[in-house]
Amino acid sequence: MQVRRAFDVLPYQLENTPKSDCLAAKVNGTWEKMSTQQVYDAAQLVSLGLVKLGLKKDDKVAIISMNRPEWMLADYGISQIGAVSVPMYPSITVEDYKYIFTDAGVKAIFVSDIKLYEKVTEAIADLHIPATHIFTFDKIEGARHFSELVEMGKQGDPATLQPLKDAVQPDDLLTLIYTSGTTGQPKGVMLSHDNILSNCRNSQRFVPVNKDDMALSFLPLCHIFERMVTYLYMINGVSIYYAESMDVIADNLREVKPSIFTTVPRLLEKVFDKIVAKGHELTGIKKSLFFWALNLGLKYDTQKDQGVFYNAQLALANKLIFNKWREALGGNLKWIVSGGGALQPRLARVFWAAGIRVMEGYGLTETSPVIAVGGFEPENNMIGTVGPIIDNTEVKIAPDGEILTKSASVMKGYYNKPELTAKEFDEEGWFHTGDIGELVNGRFLKITDRKKEMFKTSGGKYIAPQVIEGKLKESPLVEQCMVVGDGQKFPSVLIIPAFDQLRGWCKRNGLDCTGPNDALIKNEKIVSMYEDLVKKYNQGFAQWEQVKKVALLPQQWTVETGEMTPTMKVKRKVIFQNNTDLIDSLYHTDSRR
């Protein structure tokens, strides 16, 4: 059979690669597995239950939950009757929920736990969504449990489901994904079955997974990256295990022993920083060997054979040092696919050197999402780029450097926003990504900045803040940073230190590290160290791009404070507003804070 609609992946897997562990999650300390047949049967009952509830084709149903098998059962159940899923981040505000419920016209809601259930019931207080149309994955007193919907499905007639499936066409709307954006209200990106499935097909040869592979899933399923990869896994018979939480992901890696997982760069940065911190704790020959291996890894290049001597040293480093890295990540890891932000080249080099192939990809929610991805073969992976353009996808670079694209994966448009949709496409049908980039060697796409985030100094010079920020974040001592200076004589930077790493630095340099964050950032030696660090990284930039002033901040920017999007992008306008006086002081006085 062919996979033409998203829900076709279930019968396809049943026919070609039936699994005993199609989906798995840890419940009360034990990994509970669902076979392909069990997932398929449960999805049918969810569909019949939704029909019994009165839902029909094109109705919108929200899913608000961390990753778990029920998320996918809800997804398949919704799509099989031609309804449209509206996945939402658990971390967004009640006001955001209310806006999306209203804009999408949501008729029913799946929600995981009591905390989210309380947020949702608050959000629907003034809306026309009955509480009886909310189903919870955890058992919550006074709420309708997911099992109730399944029981309703058992009362339905299975024969009525096939005509509903048959009525769903590949070009029909599958999902509405609301992108938070760094400014303004969320926009509902309309993606069809074929938008996402074409992206699976066109990415296939770059991510050559098969029925013998296991994946650990922890990036939110409400994000298009993990959602598309999940369908790709299912089509290829990959077993999917859902991580318990980010707090115990190291334990889950050792238990599941996956061959692949997808991630955002920040997680790899944290893994790397922890490994290096442990290296600093070593003494004598062990410490020397650790940093010898690390420095070898930092010189790794997928595009260049560095000769017999280097290769022999690297083979030894893998036996002595890097094998321990692989064991910490489960021991079977072959690939990591990184997306959602720029990956520091040093991380890619070290992981490749350690025998773990990091494949950096690029795309947007609007492109379902992948436009380019580095391959697992060294010749198709250039570190510092996001790889070759995937199959059946066109890309061109506009005169101003913006990346434009055309493919079957480009969205149908923004829901209820035809004028905004029209702005994203030119008269030739090219979708404008808003990202600036270039093609290296005619085939490897390199992202250099966000078009909308570039700014001019008072001298008329353009500054690309993301490039500078990416360089600064190569330091393990920098947790977050944001370059400012629009309309000013020079750029400055706000830095939030990586306080765990900073305290380690203080110990190694004989400084008191017991005080609160506020006290540390006022310590003259620490301030001076960060100023020196910025000067070091300035060396790779033109004179007008170099950061002249540094301000340290005591607390991380988070989704909860409104300074980060759910996909962990900085909301520059909000951060600027929250730190106006501090930024002004960088330009109008010599004081430091």
Q: Where are the domains of the chain?
A: 35-168, 454-588
Cβ(122)–Cβ(96) below 8 Å: no
Tokens representing 465? 């803040």
Instruction: Give the C-alpha distances (Å, rounded to integers) separating 79 from 84, 166, 224, 378, 525.
Output: 6, 12, 16, 38, 58
What is the rounded CA–CA span in Å between residue 301 and residue 286? 25
**Cβ burial, residue 308 (10 Å; 0-12/13-18/19+):** exposed
Question: In 113-259, at which residue ranges do the beta strands (DSSP E only) sit?
Answer: 134-136, 144-145, 173-179, 187-192, 214-217, 239-242
**CATH for the stretch 454-588:** 3.30.300.30
- Could you tell me where the DSSP H helices lie in 451-498? 465-472
Strand partners of residue 389: 372
pTM: 0.87
User: Can you say whether residue 296 is alpha, beta or left, with left for phi > 0 and alpha for psi between -120 and 50 degrees?
Assistant: alpha
Cβ(108)–Cβ(135) below 8 Å: yes
What is the rounded CA–CA span in Å between residue 388 and residue 364? 16
Can you give the pLDDT of all 593 residues of the chain as single tens digits? 899 999 999 999 999 999 999 999 999 999 999 999 999 999 999 999 999 999 999 999 999 999 999 999 999 999 999 999 999 999 888 999 999 999 999 999 999 999 999 999 999 998 999 999 999 999 999 999 999 999 999 999 999 999 999 999 999 999 999 987 555 678 999 999 999 999 999 999 999 999 999 999 999 999 999 999 999 999 999 999 999 998 899 999 999 999 999 998 888 888 898 898 899 899 999 999 999 999 999 999 999 999 999 999 999 999 999 999 999 999 999 999 999 888 889 999 999 999 999 999 999 999 999 999 999 999 999 999 999 999 999 999 999 999 999 999 999 999 999 999 999 999 999 999 999 999 999 999 999 887 778 888 888 888 889 889 989 998 999 999 999 999 899 999 999 999 999 999 999 999 988 889 999 999 999 999 999 999 999 998 988 899 999 999 999 999 888 898 887 788 898 999 999 999 999 997 543 33
Predicted local confidence at residue 443, as pLDDT: 95
Predicted local confidence at residue 181, as pLDDT: 58
Predicted local confidence at residue 590, as pLDDT: 46
**CATH architecture label of 35-168:** 3-Layer(aba) Sandwich (3.40)
Tokens representing 503? 């305290």
Predicted local confidence at residue 424, as pLDDT: 95
What is the rounded CA–CA span in Å between residue 177 and residue 415? 10
Q: How many residues does the chain have?
A: 593
Q: Is the peptide bond before 369 cis (omega within 30 degrees of 0)?
A: yes
Angle at which helices 94-104 and 114-123 cross, to 10°: 60
What single-letter amino acid sits at 374?
Answer: G
Domains 35-168 and 454-588 are alike in CATH topology: no
Which three-class secondary structure state does DSSP give residue 365?
Answer: helix
